[in-house]
Amino acid sequence: MNIAELKLGIIAQIIATDDTALLNKIQGIINDFESNSLVNEPALTYERIRVFSDEEQRKINLAVQQYENGECISDEDAQKEIQEWLED
């Protein structure tokens, strides 16, 4: 989850709540954070980078190669096949 998704999720939760105590706590946290900031620059944020294992990378490379060789079906066709299997 990136920072934009996190912000949107928090905003959605705030909008959805009618809990005054919770909203007051959130406001207090924000006020405390703003008053404790020593500079007016945004804090640095670090996002985690996913490093694949050798086996995972091998499977990804194989899947890409299969896709490039046309050895795949569309999601629509796959859904049709699944539906046919379920009907049998």
User: Tokens 């909203």 map to which residue?
Assistant: 23
Residue with more model confidence, 35 or 51:
51
pLDDT digits (tens, 9 = 90+) for 35-47: 765 555 566 677 7
- Predicted structure pTM score: 0.38
67 found inside a domain: yes
72 found inside a domain: yes
Q: How many domains does the chain have?
A: 1
Residue type, 18: D
Q: Residues 21-47: what's their mean pLDDT? A: 75
62 found inside a domain: yes
Q: What pLDDT score does 42 carry?
A: 63
Gyration radius of the chain over CA positions: 24
In the chain, what are the helix, strand and coil shares in percent, each to the nearest 5? 65, 0, 35
